[in-house]
Structure 1
């Protein structure tokens, strides 16, 4: 399968690309600095500017079977990257008649009443940006979406075990988030679902298979 990844030079994307290539997929990875995208025979690095129009982004995405949005500005460009950049990638996906869209988001972005929890208060501006992006995907597109709302990302070694249905802020190793994103592609039962992820005791593939 040919897959496009927006935000292809980031920490999550690097592990995600490795996981998808290991599963036999061909990757087109887009980033503002494509030279920072991992080098692999099955990966084509392209320049992607999320300030561009949806039409320009559609030309860069091309004909693929699925699109991942894992881009983020780390608080430096929330409106034009994390919010509207995501929306334009969705619009480009629809324009290219691609149905499958998988987006990395943040825990509780659709539940503003939880944003005052410890560890979340400093992320309010980011959560507002993702609130609008997530809502647009759910309510204003007909894409076969899955939104993975991950907890605080850490660089600890992955455990390969997670759980869904988080009720409070926790942490997720980047490797586990990437493996979960890659696994979502193999589970049609995750379509039209928002998955609240935290570290847990269930193997990732099993947890994904149990989504209903």
Structure 2
């Protein structure tokens, strides 16, 4: 599968790119700054500059000919509310519009646990609001074959290869396992048109996603 990863230089995004390559996919890393190229070039991975402040039509040029788009870009709520809205919300929506313009049907969104439930938003409410509305646009305003992954609190722990996707009351998950779930979801048709919460658990990632 030919996959374009938006936000490839982020902690999760870089792991997604590396794992896609290891799994035998043809992957392109969408990056924001020229200096981010080096780490990918060392792995033999193609990079393309992506500016989420551009118009959807400009973004679509980069996506032509791909089978899937992964969106893992974001401010993480740490760059100010204005940029959170412009990247995590409007940038995400423009990437969806760009995918549709380019004829890319498969789209995987890395969101956040409980983004759809305002009662569970924590102290970075603008970030959750951005995720909420971006996810809503993906569900109801596009015709994409989407998967929305909602990981819990992200850690730098070594991945376990196991997750829980139901009965979740909160919890953490290694970024490595989030990346693995992204990669697995791309070839797991049961995840299409699904929103999937996930934290560390007892079920193998592929099996957990296939049983959604």
**Range moving further from structure 2, 56-65 or 80-89:** 56-65
Q: How big is the shift at 1:167?
A: 3.0
TM-score of the aligned structures, taking structure 1 as reference length: 0.93
Counterpart in the other structure of 1:51: 53
Counterpart in the other structure of 1:106: 112
For structure 2, the residue ranges without an aligned partner over 5 or more in a row are none
CA contact (8 A) 1:166 1:196 kept: no
CA contact (8 A) 1:9 1:33 kept: no
Counterpart in the other structure of 1:138: 139
**Range moving further from structure 2, 28-37 or 44-53:** 28-37
For structure 1, the residue ranges without an aligned partner over 5 or more in a row are 116-120
Counterpart in the other structure of 2:70: 68
Q: How big is the shift at 1:101?
A: 0.3
Q: 1:90 & 1:122 partners in 2: Cα distance? A: 27
Counterpart in the other structure of 1:93: 99
Q: 2:29 & 2:167 partners in 1: Cα distance? A: 30
Aligned length: 205
- 1:1-212 matched pairs, under 5 angstroms: 1-37=1-37, 38-39=40-41, 40-41=43-44, 43-75=45-77, 76=79, 77-115=83-121, 121-211=122-212
Deviations 1:160-195 (A, max 9, x none): 110102532211101000001100011001000000
**Range moving further from structure 2, 74-83 or 30-39:** 30-39
The 1:166/1:129 distance shift into structure 2, 3 A limit, reads farther
TM-score of the aligned structures, taking structure 2 as reference length: 0.93
CA contact (8 A) 2:32 2:51 kept: yes
The 1:63/1:34 distance shift into structure 2, 3 A limit, reads farther
Deviations 1:119-173 (A, max 9, x none): xx21211100100000000000010000000111100111111010253221110
- RMSD of aligned C-alpha atoms? 1.1
Tell me the secondary structure at the aligned position of residue 124 of structure 2.
helix
CA contact (8 A) 2:168 2:199 kept: no
Q: 1:131 & 1:209 partners in 2: Cα distance? A: 25
